[in-house]
Chains A and B, each alone.
Chain A
Amino acid sequence: MRNIMTIAAREFTAYFISPMAYVAMFFFLGVCGLIFVLSTSAPGASKADMTGMFHSMVFLTLLMAPVITMGLLAQETNSGTYELLMTKPLRDLEVVMGKWLGAAGLFVVILLISLEFPLIYEAFGTPDWGMVLSGYIGIFLTGLAFIAVGVFSSSLTSNQIAAWLMGTFMLLFFWLVGWLQYGSTNWLGTLAKSLSVYENFGDFERGIVDAKNILYFISLGVFFLFLTVRSLENRRTV
């Protein structure tokens, strides 16, 4: 655990030394802010409702997660620091968890800043805090799972751009796979629906916290962290 925290702390700090943390914040919060302004100033908009915001936030998370994770392992491989890291007395799992936790830390900081939007609603209206909470739980779980996918793609290559692209494509698959349900009504459609990030996030957006959806995001994250550990093990043998 100590090793995981040591690595996580380094990665978290490194984000703020490099422009990465600020670029990610600017992108995520900037676009959120724009959508917030547009949705509240639209004619007829009178409800302090975060549903639309959450909808955009989850897609922004999809775009942002591979960006903040792309360097985690790819950069280490490319610069050669990977060799020193892997010859320290660390388990592969500790390295993977540390990297993941470091990126998750940055994501949580960004989410905390985004609480300004419901707070502005609170100042001028009466938002449903139950729904806000459920939405944030959803975004939080989605982000952690997406970061696990990103860490995995970063472990596959020494090229950050390739890691970013692979991460984005993998996440887009989990986003779009739900559309298959409209084409097929058999088991394939059901499977596609249950694999879809979009479908599983929907309930959180509507204020429903369902164990089934929580389990989905946790499974997605654990599965990709497991794949990352295997990917690191595999690298040793090449």
Chain B
Amino acid sequence: MIEVQGLTKYYGPHPAIMDVSFQVNAGEVVAFLGPNGAGKTTCMRILTGYMPATSGTAKIAGYDIHTESLEARRHIGYLPEHASLYRDMRVVQYLRYAGKLQGMTATQLRDRLDMVMERCGLTERSNQIIGTLSRGYRQRVGIAQALLHDPEVLILDEPTIGLDPNQIREMRSLIRSLAGDHTVMLSTHILPEAQMTCERVIIINQGRLVAEDTTAGLTSSTKGAELLMFRVAQDDSSIPRTLRETLSRVKAVRPITGDRGAYQVEAEVGSNLGPEVARVVVEKGWGLTELRPIEVTLEEAFHQLTTQEEGVN
């Protein structure tokens, strides 16, 4: 549904994105993840036809965004970064205007308008002037105008920014409910958000694509190892060496800094070392007080990927 091939954009001599390629299939919800200034907004602006790329191609619903721009734009619902709206218009008035510009007929508008306002929780505010709405409600109007014409592709730039925790939760469930009927691409720099709302994550840093995988795949593949944490009552400096010697599949044992008596065990993926570590620790009489697997969160994976890239440059 979204096909991006070798997309590059220069602002003067400074590259904002370099050779970015990815694909989003129909019905998927994909997060575009990256630190601030990574090139997420630039990429989305190119995808929505707001500005052209320096080189590379992008297709939305089979239409090239540069050569068949109008046709491609018809299939997109876009929420820009700050969801700027005409402050002097009423909610329903603005949505009608946006719908008409998307080419909706009066009948289509009648059918969709109430439904979309209901879905975005705007029904009670439909006659309020946009300028007097709170940030959260304005964001909803932005989402509503993107959804109104029932586009195949939704591009949402930081949809939860500036919302309070309750509104964030509502927004996330709204986005999740769009999966299947719509292809959704959202950008965020909040990792749990990507984990919660999306099946797949595309990580971008300093204009380059650094990783593209499912949220589950990304967390396991970045480390390439299984991690275990245990804590003992009788700390002994010989613990790491003893463990490595007794258990051959253990790759490394490190004391966790700043946490006395706590150790991190690294083993190959799938070695399922928990019971064996427990046995050895008990046999040696170190006094096992805690043992648990360490899950690499997306957060760590992200940090690792984005800082690694920094080191290369």
Contacts and interface: CB of A to CB of B under 8 A. Distances in A.
Contacts of B50: 83, 86-87, 236
A40 interface: no
A87 B76 contact: yes
Contacts of A90: 70, 101
Interface string B35-74: 0000000000100111110000000000000000011011
A18 interface: yes
Contacts of A237: 51-52
B80 A84 contact: yes
A18 B88 contact: yes
A3 interface: yes
B241 interface: no
Nearest to B71: A89
* Majority DSSP secondary structure for residues of A touching B: helix
Given A87-B49, A87-B78, A80 B97 contact: no
9 contacts: A6-B97, A10-B86, A80-B82, A84-B84, A85-B101, A87-B76, A88-B98, A89-B70, A89-B73
B102 interface: yes
A109 interface: no
A89 B102 contact: yes
Contacts of B45: 83
Interface in A128-184: none
A80 B76 CA distance: 19
B97 A87 contact: no
Given A89-B103, A237-B51, A79 B88 contact: no
Given A236-B51, A236-B52, A237-B52, A88 B101 contact: yes
B87 interface: yes
B interface residue count range (under 10 / 10 to 19 / 20 to 34 / 35 or more): 20 to 34
Contacts of B71: 89
Contacts of A84: 78, 80, 84-85, 98, 145
B306 to A, nearest CB: 27
Contact of A88 (B73, B82, B87): B73
A230 interface: no
A112 interface: no
A115 interface: no
B145 to A, nearest CB: 7
Nearest to B84: A80
Interface string B222-237: 0000000000000000
B100 interface: yes
A10 B78 CA distance: 20
Contacts of B51: 236-238
Interface of B: 45, 48-52, 70-71, 73-74, 76, 78, 80, 82, 84-89, 97-98, 100-103, 145
Interface of A: 2-3, 6-7, 10, 14, 17-18, 79-81, 83-91, 236-238
A7 B71 CA distance: 20
B86 A81 contact: yes
B73 A83 contact: no
Contacts of B145: 84
Closest 9 CB pairs of A and B: A80-B84, A89-B73, A88-B101, A87-B48, A89-B74, A6-B100, A83-B80, A89-B70, A81-B84
A236 B45 CA distance: 10
Contact of B86 (A6, A14, A83, A238): A14
A80 B145 CA distance: 15
B239 to A, nearest CB: 58
A166 B259 CA distance: 67
B307 to A, nearest CB: 32
Q: Which of B49, B52, B74 has the most CB of A within 10 A?
A: B49
B143 to A, nearest CB: 12
Nearest to B88: A17
Nearest to A6: B100
Nearest to B49: A87
A236 B102 CA distance: 20
Nearest to B85: A81
